């Protein structure tokens, strides 16, 4: 219970560095979310059950394995959409549901505005997807919706989490494992994760308002991020 899995994989740490960088454009940001989602799903699904089978190779018969657990992917709209396709490409038989939530400005509580989920009888494991676990309000509400629908085995998969959000989710749903690339320091007074990466939805879908305020430096010592042909590269200027 209360399991938080913070990836230690070198590729995850490498790609997260570029994801955070202010000057990473929309297209590259989407690619990095795709790549990180794939790596995190690989780790989150390491305990899936298998069933035995056999296959015929060009030389002989060989033992094989097939997934026994049926997986559902459920993004929290809208930022969670960016994590669906990369994981779906790994598990093309997975069913995909959607949960839409907005925050009531009077009560500050999440309000459901859309929900379409697979039948609980067809789901053994559900990955709840959202790049950011900040206050934990939306994730906590989404877990409640899933359980109300009859889906009990839930794993949250995100990119960055704040300790406040983790505590909120586990206070209500101690049985939900949390898989993230990193657990950051804290939330600021606006509810953003620090150091974080800003608004993941805006950066995924190109709806940033204050693009002119971007800071090019990746650190005070002077290294800047250069993207060449879609590859990751850090150079010092």
* Nearest Cα residue to 147 out of 68, 95, 49, 74: 74
pLDDT at 138: 95
**Residue 106 confidence (pLDDT):** 77
Query: Is 214 a catalytic site residue?
Result: no
What is the set of domains in the chain, with CATH numbers?
Answer: 4-47+68-236 (3.40.50.2020)
> Annotated catalytic residue: which of 23, 69, 124, 199?
199
What does the pLDDT read at residue 102?
86
pTM of the model: 0.85
Is 103 an annotated catalytic residue?
A: yes
Cβ atoms 98, 114 nearer than 8 A: yes
**Phi and psi torsions of 34, nearest 5°:** -60, -50
DSSP conformation letters of 53-85: EEEE-SSSEEEEEEE-S-EEEEEEETGGGGGHH
Query: Helix, strand, or coil here: 133?
Result: strand
Q: What percent of the chain has pLDDT over 70?
A: 87
pLDDT computed for residue 230 by the predictor: 42
Out of 107, 189, 190, 210, pick the active-site residue.
107
In DSSP terms, 114 is beta-bridged to: 100
Question: Is residue 203 within 8 Å of 26, Cβ to Cβ?
Answer: yes
pLDDT tens per residue across span 141-165:
999 999 999 999 999 999 999 999 9
Q: Of the residues 103, 124, 153, 224, which is catalytic? A: 103
pLDDT of residue 163: 97
All residue ranges of the chain with pLDDT < 70 are: 1-2, 108, 210-237
Query: Closest by alpha carbon to 161, among 200, 206, 207?
Result: 200
| Cα-based distances in Å from 135 to 73, 160, 193, 196 | 22, 12, 9, 13
Please report the pLDDT score of residue 210 as a whole number: 60
């Amino acid at each position: 219970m209360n399991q938080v899995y913070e990836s230690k994989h070198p590729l995850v740490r490498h790609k997260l560095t570029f994801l955070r960088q202010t000057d990473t454009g929309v297209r590259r940001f989407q690619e990095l979310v795709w790549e990180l989602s794939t790596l995190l799903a690989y780790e989150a699904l390491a305990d899936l059950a298998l069933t035995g089978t056999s296959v015929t190779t060009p030389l002989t018969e060989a033992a094989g394995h097939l997934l026994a657990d049926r997986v559902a992917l459920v993004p929290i709209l809208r930022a969670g959409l960016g994590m669906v396709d990369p994981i779906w490409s790994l598990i093309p038989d997975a069913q995909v549901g959607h949960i839409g939530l907005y925050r009531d400005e009077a009560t500050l509580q999440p309000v459901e505005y859309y929900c379409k989920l697979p039948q609980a009888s067809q789901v053994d494991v559900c990955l709840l997807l959202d790049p950011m676990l900040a206050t934990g309000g939306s994730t906590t509400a989404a877990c409640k919706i899933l359980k109300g629908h009859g889906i009990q085995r839930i794993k949250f998969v995100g990119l960055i989490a704040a300790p406040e959000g983790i505590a909120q989710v586990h206070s209500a749903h101690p049985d939900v494992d949390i898989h993230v690339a990193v657990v950051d320091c804290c939330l600021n007074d606006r509810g953003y994760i620090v150091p974080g990466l800003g608004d993941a939805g805006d950066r995924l879908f190109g709806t940033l308002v204050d693009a002119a305020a971007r800071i090019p430096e990746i650190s005070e010592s002077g290294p800047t991020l250069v993207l060449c042909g879609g590859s990751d590269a850090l150079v010092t200027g």
